[in-house]
Chains A and B, each alone.
Chain A
């Protein structure tokens, strides 16, 4: 991955032109709300990924990158909205100079990269693969407070697990579909068997009976008997092709046999045995239907059972809420188990209904065969009434199989034995037509029989082959789906287990004062990711249950960091933390700084905050060093953000004075001094009268800072004297003398005593009178800096006994500790 050396932003979001030097180090951007911090974050993300997540994705409505990415005055000129970053690539040792990436909003997906050698492009591809470089408070909430389903989506997207879920869902659908089609295929096998039995003229399909029937016809035709009937044997084996004369279209003997079989089936349906059976089933169903509680339970049970059959996707088909299929099935199964009694009764009744369904199916198939023969008659017989009855058999089968509503099932049952006379009449009419056909010779009858038996045997064989293939497919598809589910669960559980441990460790570190033994649980399953955290040893709860908002913010950060660390390993070299951790208190912020420093020493963090105190924490804790920060002071639509850059401030003040605008110059000077005086008091550990609202005026800050530096120089002198370092004493004395003269010239220390020189009166000065004031303060502030690195001096350490007055470059390092008798002893 990469580290950002610098960024130049032009006409992008709220920024007109801004250049920041990050130098590959951690960098902080501080400023009040609306001063352009997020514009820099957006620009960084855009330069590196070509996208601005705040402007794209869910819930962004009509906002889009191309139209709303450029500065509002450049919305029609996206090519002018341009961001250029220079980056270094730590892993690429052959790279002699930083890489420049330039993107504009007209062609965001085609950046200009220099140098564009394959190694550089490959390294930048890594950023493309994992573009989640920005963590804002919005993302914290996504990870921590989201519903399990939503969190799973977010984390899965981060880990690119959407493909894993897609495959799981796809394989599950295939397995379900394969199992579902078995029902239809099994029915086809039953019907084919029934038809074949009708041809043979028996009730039992055995090889022996089939061979007997076949060989008797083959003997008539003078064909050798078949020894066996294997999968490939034809019953007509050796039979000559039909004579050229027109063959009889309706095989008389078979048609009569089929008519007989159909009549028998209808008689069975309307016969006393069936009627008696229907009466028994009706009684049981009626008793179920008459008990409202049972009926309700049956309906519920049926609903659950149907649901169990139809669950196949990973989300509810109605509201699209993600669910965990396995968990849901378990959950529903518990409900079904609660209705066990009802379930048992239902199963018993359905078992009794099954023979009725079989006989109705037989009637349907038998009549369909007759209808098919009748269409070959001359003229064709429509057999309309028989057709209608066949359809009604099919409807009755559907109704009985559905079982619910019970009233419909009862009505269907009562209608089962009722066969319209017209259906019988149609069969009789067809029988007359068939009977009138000339009697075939024994030879022809045998030939017809073998032909039809072979046809039906083929249909039966084909149906069975399909049934076997479908069965094999169903078993195989289920096995594939189950193995995939098992493996993906195992891998995901491993990943989440690692992440949860790392997360708990990081969070425990930031809260080691009271939650060092903290632990957490990520509970993965497809469709959701539960996230429970320990609450002071009282158990595991969702993060929002008992933990404060500040703790939740820290959890979000720690979860993000552990996920990024897991995904990118050593490649996690850059991240932007956009105004996160605002709810975290000062103590825990220090711990967060320590965490980032200790655990992520190779990651460059760009952090934004509107809180200058937070910025100081970052500096104090050493996560932000030297000049690696920028403090925005204001923003306007015409200019964009302005920041407290010393060179710019003095130039700006001079510009105001050139234009004779003393008021603006005075206002800017005062604000800059307020900002700087606070920084100086902090760095020098000056004593300031405490204010709970942290609203200090300039007069309350600058004089203590001046007094403090004087005092520190005096302490330095005393210490140098005690060590007998005359040269150092001389240097410090010179510095003190210069500094005192500049302080006196500024009159800053007189503010509380002499109102005439108070900054409030600056507005009323003439240009000529104010120019010396500006020079005086410019020189005074300069005296607070190291002459080499120009950094403001600071006391080290930042707590407890001051030991030195120093700068970051080391050029200024004034010892404040006097020689004691003990140190004398130790030499």
Chain B
């Protein structure tokens, strides 16, 4: 039986996805502040509620 090539195994698949996502955002014209807020929410605080994401994406001030 042929062995499969090893791939980067990580128990934190969400962390892997979030990391790549933030990296991809860095290559766009999305504001660095927004990316920093998302990084804090997803990787540091690990808060994924709608409210937390909204604060991260829209910033402190939402359009009324």
Contacts and interface: CB of A to CB of B under 8 A. Distances in A.
Interface string B29-57: 01100100010001000101110011001
A566 interface: yes
Given A174-B54, A498-B4, A164 B25 contact: no
B11 A567 contact: yes
B53 A167 contact: yes
A206 interface: no
A710 B37 CA distance: 81
Interface string A798-812: 000000000000000
B34 A488 contact: no
B31 to A, nearest CB: 7
A590 to B, nearest CB: 15
A555 to B, nearest CB: 17
A599 B1 CA distance: 9
Interface in A494-525: 494-495, 498, 501-502, 505, 509
B36 to A, nearest CB: 13
A476 B57 contact: yes
A479 B28 contact: yes
A163 B14 contact: yes
Contact of A567 (B9, B48, B57, B58): B9
A222 B25 CA distance: 55
Given A473-B58, A479-B28, A480-B34, A505 B13 contact: no
Specify which of B46, B57, B58 lies most central, judged by the most chain A CB atoms within 10 Å of its CB: B57
A498 B13 contact: no
B57 A171 contact: yes
Nearest to A506: B1
B49 to A, nearest CB: 7
Interface string A96-129: 0000000000000000000000000000001001
B5 to A, nearest CB: 9
B63 A167 contact: no
Contact of A491 (B20, B30, B49): B20
A599 B57 CA distance: 45
A178 B9 CA distance: 37
19 contacts: A126-B11, A160-B13, A163-B14, A163-B46, A164-B13, A167-B48, A174-B57, A185-B63, A473-B58, A477-B58, A480-B57, A483-B24, A491-B17, A498-B4, A501-B4, A505-B1, A566-B9, A567-B13, A571-B11
Contacts of A414: none
A473 B53 CA distance: 14
A181 B63 contact: yes
Given A479-B30, A509-B1, A163 B48 contact: yes
B64 to A, nearest CB: 8
A126 to B, nearest CB: 8
A129 B16 contact: no
Given A166-B48, A487-B20, A476 B14 contact: no
A129 B11 CA distance: 8
A170 interface: yes
A483 B27 CA distance: 11
B43 to A, nearest CB: 11
A488 B17 contact: yes
B13 A491 contact: yes
Mostly helix, strand, loop or mixed at chain A's interface? helix
A566 to B, nearest CB: 6
A130 interface: yes
Interface of B: 1-2, 4, 7, 9, 11-14, 16-18, 20-21, 24-25, 28, 30-31, 34, 38, 42, 46, 48-50, 53-54, 57-58, 63-64
Contacts of A129: 11
A416 B26 CA distance: 53
Contacts of A566: 9
Interface of A: 126, 129-130, 159-161, 163-164, 166-167, 170-171, 173-174, 178, 181, 185, 466, 469-470, 473, 476-477, 479-480, 483-484, 486-488, 490-492, 494-495, 498, 501-502, 505, 509, 566-569, 571, 598-599
A568 B4 CA distance: 16
B1 to A, nearest CB: 5
A338 B52 CA distance: 40
A185 B57 CA distance: 19
Contacts of B31: 476
B16 A491 contact: yes
A309 B49 CA distance: 23
A484 B21 CA distance: 6
B42 to A, nearest CB: 7
Nearest to B35: A480
A67 to B, nearest CB: 32
Contacts of A164: 13-14, 17
Nearest to B16: A491
A483 B28 contact: yes
What are the 7 tightest A-B residue pairs by CB atom distance, in nearest-first order? Answer: A569-B9, A170-B53, A163-B14, A487-B21, A166-B48, A470-B63, A491-B17
Contacts of A599: 1
B2 A505 contact: yes
Nearest to A185: B63
A425 B41 CA distance: 60
Contacts of A173: 50
Contact of A495 (B2, B13, B46, B64): B13
Contacts of B48: 163, 166-167, 170
Contact of B49 (A170, A477, A483): A170
A498 B50 CA distance: 31
B63 A473 contact: yes
B17 A487 contact: yes
Given A159-B13, A164-B17, A491-B16, A174 B34 contact: no
A130 B10 CA distance: 12
Contact of A477 (B11, B20, B57): B57
A171 to B, nearest CB: 6
A379 B24 CA distance: 64
Contact of A598 (B1, B7, B38): B1
Contact of B14 (A126, A160, A494, A598): A160
A487 to B, nearest CB: 5
A161 B2 CA distance: 29
A535 to B, nearest CB: 21
A132 to B, nearest CB: 12
Contact of A469 (B34, B38, B63): B63
Contact of A161 (B9, B14, B42): B14
A178 B62 CA distance: 10
Contacts of A174: 50, 53-54, 57-58
A146 B7 CA distance: 28
Given A163-B48, A170-B49, A505-B4, A480 B25 contact: yes
A494 B7 CA distance: 10
A171 B4 contact: no
Contacts of B57: 171, 174, 476-477, 480
Contacts of B11: 126, 129-130, 160, 567-568, 571
A171 B24 contact: no
Contacts of B9: 566-569
A178 B16 CA distance: 28
Contacts of A486: 24
B21 A488 contact: yes
Contacts of A470: 63
Contacts of A160: 11-14
Nearest to B61: A469
A487 B31 CA distance: 19
Nearest to B25: A483
Contacts of A501: 4
Contacts of A502: 4
A479 B57 CA distance: 11
A369 to B, nearest CB: 22
Contacts of A480: 25, 30, 34, 38, 57
Nearest to A567: B11
